[in-house]
Amino acid sequence: MTALIGASGLATGHGRSPLLSGVDLALHPGQVLGLLGPNGVGKTTLFRCLLGLLPVLRGQLTLQGRDIARLDRRQIALAIAYVPQAQSLPFAFSARDIVLMGRSAALGPFSAPGPDDLRRADAALDRLGILHLAARDMTRLSGGQQQMVLIARALAQQAPALVMDEPTASLDLANRARIETLIAELARDGIGIILSTHDPDQAARLADQVILLGAGGVVAQGPMRQVLTASHLSGLYGTPIRREELSDGGLHFRADHQTGDHPAAG
């Protein structure tokens, strides 16, 4: 099966010297790939490369089997949608306007959104339960609400692959649960999702495959249970981390600063 996003031996970064190298990944329809790593190791850099915003310095990157270097901006946007961490706007766009912008790749170069695009934008807002915010000024929404609008925009883009940069970082408990449920639903609908998170519990709840990113590149990758081990995470974050099996089959991780015990591999 052709991967929605495929990378082999990928190296990328700003300028000519790579920040990341040797990244191999394959995202298939319906798969959720979790990306974990300390601050500053290059998670967002990797995402920007996958989106064609940073150059491929070495290796190969394909979207639906096609070399990204041969795709124009519109073709990339039709293949992959992006939810950034945050947004700063110089003007007071409404939430609906922002979501409508997600329809741009589906429009002709000289076209503006029509009634069908408006319907799809409202459907995306409704799916996130924020249709009541449609007319609100985006700059006056809370960080969490803005995050929801950006996710709605990515849904309106209707791309088969979704890249989400810490999608629940600004969300309260209820909205975090809502987004996690949505991610699971989207995966069931056949959308491939790569998301970064600082929460290993969340990665355990959502991801089928996990990549641990350390300074310079990939530390470990593979099926979630094989990668999210106490030893891997302790090594990655440089602090003792315990892994606990929950009664519902899930995993819970916690940093254990007080005892200083180095946990056994999970």
Partner 1 sequence: MSRIGWTLPLGVVLIAALLSGIMLGPYPLSPGQVLAQLAGRGVPGTETTVFWHIRLPRVLAAACIGAALAAAGAAYQTAFRNPLVSPDILGVSSGAGLGAVLGIYLGLPVLAIQMLGFATGLATVFVVVTLALAIRGSALVMVLCGIAVGALAGAGISLVKLLADPDDQLPAITFWLMGSLAGMKRGDLAAGAPAILLGLLPLVLLRWRIGLLALGDDEARSLGVNAGRLRAVVVAGATLMTAAAVSMAGIVGWVGLMVPHMMRLLTGPRFDRLLPASALGVRSFWCWSIARRG
Q: Please state, as a whole number, how many other Cβ atoms lie within 10 Å of the Cβ of residue 26.
A: 17
Q: Among residues 61 and 230, whose Cβ is nearest to partner 1? A: 61
In the complex, least distance from residue 32 CB atom to partner 1, rounded to whole angstroms: 20
What's the min distance (Å) between Cβ of 110 and partner 1?
5
Nearer to partner 1, 122 or 208 (CB): 122
Q: How far is the CB of 115 from partner 1 (least distance, A)?
A: 13
Task: Compute the distance between CA of residue 139 and CA of residue 129 in angstroms, rounded to an integer.
Answer: 19
Considering the complex, state which of residue 60 and residue 94 has its C-beta at the smaller distance from partner 1. 94
Q: What is the CA radius of gyration of the chain?
A: 19
Q: How far is the CB of 103 from partner 1 (least distance, A)?
A: 9
Angle, CA 127 vertex, CA 27 and CA 159 arms, to 5°: 30
In terms of CB distance, is 61 or 78 closer to partner 1? 78
Instruction: Write out the residues near partner 1 by the rule CB under 8 A.
Output: 48, 51-53, 72-74, 76-78, 81-82, 84, 87-94, 97, 101-102, 104-105, 107, 109-113, 157
Own/partner contacts of 141-149, CB < 8 Å, gap of 24 or more, are: 141/95, 142/170, 143/86, 143/170, 144/170, 144/171, 144/172, 144/175, 145/95, 146/86, 146/87, 146/170, 147/83, 147/86, 147/171, 148/175, 148/179, 149/95, 149/98, 149/99, 149/125
Could you tell me the smallest distance in angstroms from the CB atom of residue 24 to partner 1? 23
How many secondary structure helices (H) and strands (E) does the chain include? 9, 12
**C-beta of 85 vs 221, nearer to partner 1:** 85
**Minimum CB separation from partner 1 for residue 40, in Å?**
18
| Nearer residue to partner 1 within complex by CB, 89 or 177 | 89
